[in-house]
C-alpha cells in the first residue's frame, strides 16, 4: 500500500515509508499521554534552534498496558480497577514524581491522569497537519504543528482536554487556524487506517516509548538509524548532529542556562532541606552497570567540592531479554525490545566495552570493604569505590574474593598500614552483619534502582539527574 492519504504540502503522499527514513536529520516520536514526551518538547525545540536544524515530528501511540499494566481511577481519586504489580505501581508513582519536579522547574503543570488514554485521535490530528504543512513550517514556532503540540499538551496535562473526543481535536484545529474541511471524515476513515498501519510498523521497527529520537544520517552497526529513548540524550544527539567534535557527552537532564533559585525551589518537594544536608547520599551496587557509568560524573562532582556518601545495596541484576520468537505477543515483544535497547545504550555510553551488562556477581565482600573503610579511613573511600568498579568492569577481577578486596583496600589506604588478619576476621564476623544492616537500611528507604541519590528524603534515580541534584546542592535548596 503506497498511499493512504491525500497529498502533503510538498506534493507527496503520506506513505508507509521506512520508520528511520526522513528528509530531516532528526525524527522525533512523541505521544500526548506521556509526561516524559511533554517535558522533552521545549528542550528539543531549543536544541534544534541552536543547531539551525529541522526535525520530523511524528506521533507514536504508546501501549502502556503492555509494559506497565492498566489502572483507572474513580471520581474520588481512588483506584477503581487495575492490573499492575507492586513493582509496576512503584515505577509509575516514581515516574510522575520525577516528571512533576521537572515540570515545576519549567513552570508547567502535570496532573496524574485518571486512566490510560487512547491518543490515536490527537495522533491523527498530527498527520492531518503534516498533510497541509511542509517540513520547514512544521518546525517554526508559529507553524501549525508546533502550535498544535502546545494546544493539546498544555490542557491535557491540566486534565482540561479529552483526547478521545473527536470534536475536541477538531476544536484544537479550529483554535490554531488549521484547515478543518474533511478532517472528521479523514479521522474516521483513511486517516485512522493510515495511523494504525504506521503505529504497527513503527513498533515493529523497534520504537517502544517516547520521546524516541532517530538519526537517519547516523546508522548504527546494523545499518539502521541510531535510536535514543529519552530527552536525557539530547546532548549526545546534538554532538552527533554537529560532527562529533570533542568528547561525547553523557546522559543528562540538562537545565536551562537561565534557571534561577526560585525555579530550583519550586522543583523541590522539600525546599530548604539541603541547607542542613552534608554530602550526597548515593545508593549503588558495584555490579550495576548504571552505577559504574555514574562514577565519572560523581567523581567530577567530588572534585568540585561535593562530598560523596556511598551506601551499598543489593540491586537486582539487569534482566537479559528473551530470544525473539515469531509467536511473541506485543507485551513480550515490548519487553524484549526494551531490554535489548537498554543493553545497547549501556554499551554506547560505557568508557570501554562492558563484558556483561547482566552481571550477577556477589558484591558482599566488596561492600564489607567499603563499610569497613568508612569506619577506619573515611577519606580513602572514594578511591576504594573507584578501584573496585574498575577492577570489576574494566579488569574483570573476581571481587567475590576476600584476597582481591584486601589488595584493593591496601592500595586505597596508601601509607596507612593494612592489617590482613584484622580484615580476615572482619570478613568472617562483623562484616557480614554490617552488610546485612546496610541492605536493610536501603530497603527501609524504598531504594529499588541503582544508582539512587537523595536530597533529604527526595529520591533521584539515575545519573541523568545529576545536573539538577548538583544545582540544588550548590543553591542549598
Q: Comparing C-alpha atoms, which of 144, 125, 122 is closest to residue 133?
A: 144
Residue 69: domain span: 26-239
Q: Comparing C-alpha atoms, which of 390, 413, 131, 95 is closest to residue 422?
A: 413
pLDDT in tens, 14-69: 665 678 899 999 999 999 999 999 999 999 999 999 999 999 999 999 998 765 55
- For residues 44 and 123, state if they share a domain: yes
- For residues 142 and 283, state if they share a domain: no
pLDDT in tens, 344-353: 999 999 999 9
pLDDT in tens, 329-384: 999 999 999 999 999 999 999 999 999 999 999 999 999 999 999 999 999 999 99
- For residues 77 and 185, state if they share a domain: yes
- For residues 307 and 178, state if they share a domain: no
- For residues 168 and 308, state if they share a domain: no
pLDDT in tens, 130-156: 999 999 999 999 999 999 999 999 999
- Report DSSP letters for 44-96, one per residue: HHHHHHHHT--EEEEE----THHHH--EEE-TTSSEEEE---HHHHHHHHHHH
What is the number of domains present in the chain? 2
Residue 350 lies in a domain: no
- For residues 294 and 386, state if they share a domain: yes
Residue 158 lies in a domain: yes
pLDDT in tens, 4-15: 444 455 555 566
Residue 250 lies in a domain: no
Residue 252 lies in a domain: no
Residue 451 lies in a domain: yes
Residue 327 lies in a domain: no
- Report DSSP letters for 351-369, one per residue: SS--S-TT-----HHHHHH
Q: Provide the CATH number for the domain around residue 425.
A: 3.40.30.10
- For residues 363 and 442, state if they share a domain: yes
Residue 420 lies in a domain: yes
Please identify, among 239, 258, 286, the residue that sits at the C-terminal boundary of a domain.
239
- For residues 229 and 289, state if they share a domain: no
Q: How many CA atoms lie within 13 A of 34 on its CB side?
A: 25
- For residues 174 and 313, state if they share a domain: no
- For residues 280 and 235, state if they share a domain: no
Range with the poorest average pLDDT among 11-15, 162-166, 460-464: 11-15
- For residues 118 and 34, state if they share a domain: yes
Residue 388 lies in a domain: yes
| pTM more than 0.85 | yes
Amino acid at each position: 500500500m503506497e498511499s493512504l492519504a491525500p497529498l502533503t504540502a510538498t506534493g507527496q503522499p503520506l506513505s508507509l515509508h521506512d520508520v528511520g527514513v526522513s528528509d530531516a536529520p532528526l525524527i522525533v516520536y512523541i505521544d500526548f499521554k506521556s509526561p516524559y514526551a511533554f517535558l522533552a518538547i521545549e528542550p528539543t525545540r531549543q536544541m534544534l534552534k541552536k543547531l539551525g536544524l529541522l526535525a520530523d515530528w511524528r506521533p507514536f501511540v504508546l501501549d502502556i498496558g503492555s509494559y506497565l499494566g492498566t489502572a483507572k481511577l474513580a471520581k474520588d481519586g481512588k483506584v477503581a480497577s487495575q492490573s499492575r504489580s507492586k513493582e509496576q505501581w512503584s515505577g509509575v508513582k516514581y515516574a510522575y514524581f520525577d516528571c512533576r519536579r521537572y515540570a515545576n522547574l519549567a513552570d508547567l503543570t502535570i496532573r496524574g491522569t485518571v486512566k490510560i488514554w487512547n491518543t490515536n485521535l490527537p495522533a491523527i490530528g498530527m498527520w492531518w497537519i503534516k498533510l497541509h504543512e511542509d517540513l520547514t513550517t512544521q518546525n517554526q514556532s508559529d507553524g501549525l504543528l508546533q502550535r498544535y503540540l502546545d494546544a493539546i499538551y498544555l490542557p491535557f496535562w491540566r486534565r482540561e482536554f479529552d483526547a478521545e473526543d473527536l470534536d475536541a481535536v477538531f476544536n484544537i484545529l479550529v483554535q490554531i487556524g488549521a484547515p478543518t474541511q474533511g478532517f472528521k471524515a479523514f479521522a474516521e476513515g483513511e486517516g485512522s487506517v493510515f495511523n494504525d498501519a504506521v503505529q504497527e510498523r513503527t513498533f515493529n521497527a523497534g520504537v517502544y516509548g517516547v520521546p524516541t529520537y532517530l538519526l537517519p544520517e547516523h546508522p548504527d552497526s546494523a545499518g539502521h538509524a541510531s535510536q535514543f529513548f529519552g530527552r536525557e540524550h539530547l546532548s549526545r544527539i546534538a554532538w552527533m548532529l554537529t560532527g562529533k567534535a570533542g568528547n561525547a557527552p553523557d546522559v543528562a537532564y540538562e537545565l536551562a542556562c537561565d534557571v534561577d533559585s526560585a525555579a530550583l525551589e519550586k522543583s523541590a518537594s522539600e525546599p530548604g532541606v539541603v541547607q542542613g544536608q552534608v554530602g550526597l547520599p548515593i545508593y549503588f551496587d558495584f555490579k550495576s552497570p548504571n552505577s559504574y557509568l555514574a562514577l565519572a560524573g560523581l567523581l567530577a562532582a567530588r572534585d568540585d567540592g561535593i562530598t560523596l556518601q556511598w551506601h551499598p545495596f543489593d540491586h537486582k541484576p539487569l534482566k537479559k531479554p528473551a530470544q525473539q520468537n515469531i509467536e511473541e505477543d506485543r507485551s513480550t515483544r515490548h519487553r524484549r525490545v526494551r531490554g535489548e535497547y537498554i543493553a545497547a545504550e549501556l554499551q554506547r555510553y560505557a568508557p570501554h566495552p562492558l563484558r556483561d551488562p547482566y552481571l550477577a556477581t556477589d558484591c558482599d565482600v566488596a561492600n564489607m570493604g567499603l563499610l569497613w573503610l568508612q569506619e577506619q579511613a573515611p577519606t580513602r573511600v572514594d578511591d576504594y569505590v573507584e578501584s573496585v568498579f574498575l577492577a570489576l568492569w574494566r579488569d574483570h577481577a573476581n571481587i567475590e574474593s576476600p584476597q582481591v578486596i584486601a589488595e584493593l583496600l591496601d592500595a586505597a589506604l596508601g601509607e596507612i598500614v593494612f592489617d590482613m588478619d584484622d580484615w580476615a576476621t572482619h570478613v568472617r564476623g562483623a562484616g557480614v552483619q554490617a552488610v546485612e544492616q546496610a541492605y536493610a537500611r536501603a530497603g527501609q528507604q524504598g531504594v529499588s534502582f541503582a544508582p539512587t541519590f537523595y536530597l533529604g528524603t527526595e529520591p533521584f534515580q539515575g545519573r541523568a539527574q545529576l545536573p539538577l541534584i548538583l544545582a540544588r546542592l550548590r543553591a542549598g535548596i
